[in-house]
Amino acid sequence: MNAIAKLILKARKIVFKFGSNTLTGGDGRINSTLLAEFAEQADAFLKQGKQIVIVSSGAQVAGLSAMDRWDRKRDIHYRQALCAVGQVKLMNAWEKAFTPQGIHIAQILLTRDDFTDNTRTLNMRNTLFTLVDEGIVPIINENDSVSVEEIKIGDNDTLAAQSAILWSADLLVLFSDIDGLYDKNPRNHADAQLTEEVRDITAARRSATGETAGGEADGGAGEFGTGGIITKLDAAERVVSYGIPMILAHGGRKRALESLADGTGQGTAFLA
Ligand code: ADP
């Protein structure tokens, strides 16, 4: 059994994060087939006694597909309004995916302040525990409609890591549009090799981001992704420091979750 399959087998409480490029098939619309397939696999996990929290990006993309006439508006108010529209679409898509399994979902929208204020943190933790104990799948996103730049968490890799720590998860799985961490950016280097296990994040970061002495890096995000590989490495560092391992894998692969669990899928395990 490989490291990833072992991590999944052992974990009872798992946070899954979906990046926006993963949730949308290249056409900028939510990929409802992918969501439905994930919900089926998640249901099998729940039946095995595992617990699940989802961190889902994609509000802005979903908003854009609904309000395409706002396509070129870069103004912050429009972008926040877009997220407000898109968040409804996003949650509708998740609800549609989980309904056939008879599973309820719940929406939790957070800002950076929620993680710095002790009372809010405690409330959030209690809410998460209550939802999950009742068999409901919480779906977390940043509350982009109220978060201006200065108070933003900024990217959902960080939000996912913070949520995993807050909920005392056993494992964080980042589903991205890439099969895992490569030794260099696979979009620019055809000979890039997938790293299966990472124990030393500092060393992995240096090589993966092509960081030079001047600090220039090569770890960019996709059109709708805000993080790129750097925020994924930051997330790994954060959770691993709390003893929580992380897996980075491609969420768009067929039966992605099942194949990671049975050892046939590819990915990178960041070991705690
Ligand atoms: P998401 O929307 O899932 O958060 P991002 O687009 O933000 O995804 O980040 C993933 C992207 O990071 C990959 O598609 C890839 O182009 C880029 N990337 C840069 N360097 C690397 C690397 N060393 N290994 C893997 N991906 C990398």
Least confident of 165-169, 201-205, 237-241: 201-205
User: 156: which residues sit within 8 A by CB, 6+ positions away?
Assistant: 17, 19, 55, 56, 57, 141, 142, 226, 227
Q: Rounded mean pLDDT of the chain?
A: 91
- 219: confidence class by pLDDT, cuts 50, 70, 90: low
Give distance in angstroms: CA of 176 to centre of ligand 1.
7
> Of all protein residues, whose CA lies closest to atom 22 belonging to ligand 1?
185
Give distance in angstroms: CA of 221 to centre of ligand 1.
6
d(CA 59, CA 146): 14
Q: Which residues line ligand 1 (CB under 6 A)?
A: 19-22, 176-178, 181-182, 184-187, 208, 219-222, 225, 227-229
- 60: confidence class by pLDDT, cuts 50, 70, 90: confident
Least confident of 34-43, 116-125, 160-169, 227-236: 227-236
Tell me 265's DSSP state.
Answer: S
pLDDT value of residue 146: 85
**pLDDT exceeds 70 at position 218:** no
Is pTM beyond 0.85? Reply is: yes
Closest alpha carbon to 16 in 160, 153, 128:
160
Q: What is the mean pLDDT of residues 79-84?
A: 90
Q: What is the mean pLDDT of residues 25-50?
A: 93
pLDDT value of residue 211: 58
pLDDT value of residue 215: 47
| Residue with token string 């099969």 | 179
Q: What is the mean pLDDT of residues 183-193?
A: 90
**pLDDT exceeds 70 at position 162:** yes
CA distance readout (Å), 171 to 56, 117, 122, 152, 227: 16, 24, 21, 24, 20
Q: How does DSSP assign 67-115, residue by residue?
A: -GGGTT---HHHHHHHHHHHHHHHHHHHHHHHGGGT--EEEEEE-THHH
| Residue with token string 């409609």 | 145
Q: Which atom of ligand 1 is nearest to the CA of 183?
A: 23
pLDDT value of residue 257: 98
Least confident of 6-15, 145-154, 158-167, 180-189: 145-154
Q: Which atom of ligand 1 is nearest to the CA of 184?
A: 23
| Residue with token string 């056409």 | 27
CA angle 30, 153, 233 (to 5 degrees): 80
Give distance in angstroms: CA of 182 to centre of ligand 1.
9
Percentage with pLDDT > 70 across the chain: 93
- 244: confidence class by pLDDT, cuts 50, 70, 90: very high
Go through 217-229 and write b for each residue having 16 or more CB atoms within 10 A of its CB, e for each that does not.
bbbebbebbbbbb
Closest alpha carbon to 269 in 178, 195, 164:
195
| Residue with token string 């979903």 | 62
Beta carbons of 171 and 13 less than 8 angstroms apart: yes
d(CA 169, CA 185): 29
Q: Which stretch of DSSP H or E encloses residue 159?
A: helix 156-166
Q: Which atom of ligand 1 is nearest to the CA of 182?
A: 24
Go through 97-119 and write b for each residue having 16 or more CB atoms within 10 A of its CB, e for each that does not.
bbeebebebbebbbbbebbeeee
Q: What is the mean pLDDT of residues 154-182?
A: 96
Q: Which atom of ligand 1 is nearest to the CA of 156?
A: 4
- 223: confidence class by pLDDT, cuts 50, 70, 90: very low
